[in-house]
């Protein structure tokens, strides 16, 4: 099954920001496009707005004047749904209400031809439930674009329970012909991106609720250590706290209140207070005119550079640190160790990579967080308990400062910030593949392009080792037996298969 022919008219119903964006994508690709909106005059106004954006593309030399003129001639506001009768594809981008969408498609089904592909751009509702209102749900599919649709490449092509393979394939190939990067996805709450991205927000909020660190520090660690483009607090302020919480709540409810997707009480209070982020002038941060700049992340005062360190065991994902320490002129002695992966400081205290345990459980241990790239990271988070020796903490701070890093000391939070976030993202991704939601490749593509992650979950998993995420979450689950951190069966199988090949036993 191939993409729609460019001579085939495409209709977009709903002319808000997303509807206009989808219409622009189809128009620039070469299709005749019909715009319809139930509100009188809105389709014509939307057509004018799209043409104005095409004019700006011409000014920026991203579109020729001739192509702009041809696109303008192909754009037609529709006065009624009956004007869409000859369309080969109708994409809906109306209010996120199941009854509204079902009624629209019931009406469309009586207007368009039998071979017309019907698609919804829903981000939170069930494609299966919307299509269930149709006499022929086989031609119904989800086409989830990301805002702004003309700029962001990802499109989730979602097959409902009754969607025909030919319909899904045609939708996929059409999106690709429009210059987008489509990924195939089964109809599951949140699809790919909104399902697997939940821990990025949830774990940041959980660390905050546990008083492990303030928003500015957590955001800085996610950016400067984890390699994410934005931290969870600043990103949800940009998205809108109400919008972000609504998606989280929808996924949680759709999974029958699965504890892994539990919404944040702190975010709920923010929404209740009307602090919705940038659009209201205040969210996690203050954006009002004339206010001071947002708070600076906690950064430790200069510590004491250790005279040497002893590396016991394999540091695994943090093994690059040994080269960095030597380059900083600090002697490193390596010793084999059967039951440990840590750095021993001159004080006798130890440094260990976040593993889901807490500092208070041990005599004198400081944990450091996972980094995307320890060489390029500009900030490292450390965690210690009230029982940690001040000398050990000072040496730990001094060691990373000697490597040119800013250091943020947070509370004794198991799994810290980046490590627990990445582990949970990896777990949800393995679970999704095991349940037939999408392929590993499509999940990695979706998370890189849809939310701009530095690595896809499976790229993280391969880099960190097959057992890393499982071991960390298993330790976290022991300390928080609510089920939130219980590793999925898919992740268990992934980790166990590795052990078995290496001669491990059950």
Which amino acids are annotated catalytic? 123, 144, 156, 194
Q: Please tell me what DSSP assigns to residue 260.
A: G
Please give the C-alpha separations between residue 290 and each of 199, 266, 295, 404, in angstroms, as whole numbers.
34, 26, 15, 34
- Token representation of residue 159: 């097959």
Buried b (16+ CB within 10 A) or exposed e, 162-200: bbbeebbbbbbbbbebbebbbbbbbbbbbbbbbbbbbbb
Coil vs helix vs strand at 182: strand
Coil vs helix vs strand at 183: strand
CB 236 within 8 A of CB 201: yes
Please give the C-alpha separations between residue 158 and each of 143, 170, 246, 400, 436, in angstroms, as whole numbers.
6, 12, 20, 46, 12
CB 340 within 8 A of CB 326: no
Cα dihedral angle (139, 255, 492, 222), rounded to 10 degrees? 100
- Token representation of residue 155: 């499109």
CB 260 within 8 A of CB 189: no
- The Cα–Cα gap between 332 and 344 comes to 10
Coil vs helix vs strand at 32: coil
- The Cα–Cα gap between 88 and 151 comes to 24
Query: For 373-486, where are the alpha helices, taking DSSP H only?
Result: 390-402, 418-434, 440-451, 457-464, 468-479
Q: Please tell me what DSSP assigns to residue 312.
A: E
- The Cα–Cα gap between 183 and 443 comes to 8
Distance from chain centroid for Cα 302: 35
Beta strands in 309-398 (DSSP E): 309-312, 332-335, 342-344, 350-353, 365-368, 379-383
């Amino acid at each position: 099954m191939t993409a729609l022919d460019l001579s085939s008219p495409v209709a977009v119903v709903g002319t808000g920001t997303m509807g206009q964006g989808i219409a622009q994508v189809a128009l620039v690709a070469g299709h005749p496009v019909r715009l319809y909106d139930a509100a009188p005059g809105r389709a014509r106004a939307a057509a004018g707005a799209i043409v104005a954006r095409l004019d700006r593309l011409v000014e920026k030399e991203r579109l020729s004047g001739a192509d702009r003129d041809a696109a303008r001639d192909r754009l037609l506001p529709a006065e009624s749904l009956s004007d869409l009768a000859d369309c080969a594809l109708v994409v809906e981008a109306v209010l996120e209400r199941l009854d509204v969408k079902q009624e629209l498609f019931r009406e469309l089904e009586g207007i368009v031809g039998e071979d017309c592909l019907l698609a919804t751009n829903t981000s939170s509702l069930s494609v299966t439930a919307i299509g269930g209102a149709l006499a022929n749900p086989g031609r119904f599919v989800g086409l989830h674009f990301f805002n702004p649709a003309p700029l962001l490449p990802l499109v989730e092509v979602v097959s409902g329970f009754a969607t025909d393979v030919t319909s899904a394939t045609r939708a996929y190939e059409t999106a690709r012909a429009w210059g987008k990067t489509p990924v195939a996805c089964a109809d599951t709450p949140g699809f790919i991106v909104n399902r697997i991205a939940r821990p990025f927000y949830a774990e940041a909020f959980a660390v905050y609720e546990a008083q492990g660190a303030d928003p500015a520090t957590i955001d800085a660690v996610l950016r400067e250590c984890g390699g994410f483009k934005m931290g969870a607090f600043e990103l949800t302020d940009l998205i809108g706290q109400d919008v972000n919480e609504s998606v989280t709540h929808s996924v949680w409810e759709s999974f029958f209140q699965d504890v892994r997707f539990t919404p944040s009480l702190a975010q709920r209070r923010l929404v209740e207070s009307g602090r919705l982020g940038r659009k209201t002038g205040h969210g996690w941060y203050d954006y009002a005119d004339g206010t001071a700049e947002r708070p600076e992340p906690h950064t430790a005062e200069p510590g004491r550079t250790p005279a040497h360190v002893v590396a016991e065991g394999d540091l695994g994902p943090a093994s690059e640190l040994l080269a960095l320490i030597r380059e900083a002129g600090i002697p490193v002695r390596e010793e084999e160790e059967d039951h440990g992966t840590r750095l021993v400081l001159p004080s006798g205290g130890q440094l260990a990579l976040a593993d889901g345990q807490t500092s208070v459980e041990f005599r004198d241990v400081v944990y450091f967080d996972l980094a995307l790239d320890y060489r390029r990271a500009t900030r490292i988070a450390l965690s210690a308990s009230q029982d940690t020796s001040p000398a050990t903490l000072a040496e730990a701070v001094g060691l990373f400062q000697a490597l040119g890093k800013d250091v943020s000391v947070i509370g004794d939070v198991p799994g810290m910030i980046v490590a627990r976030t990445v582990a949970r993202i990896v777990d949800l991704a393995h679970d999704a593949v095991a349940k037939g939601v999408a392929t590993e490749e499509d999940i990695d593509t979706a998370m890189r392009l849809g939310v701009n992650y530095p690595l896809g979950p499976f790229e993280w998993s391969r880099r960190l080792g097959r057992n890393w995420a499982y071991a960390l979450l298993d330790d976290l689950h022991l300390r928080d037996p609510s089920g939130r951190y219980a590793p999925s069966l898919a992740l268990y199988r992934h980790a166990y298969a590795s052990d078995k090949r290496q001669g491990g036993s059950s």
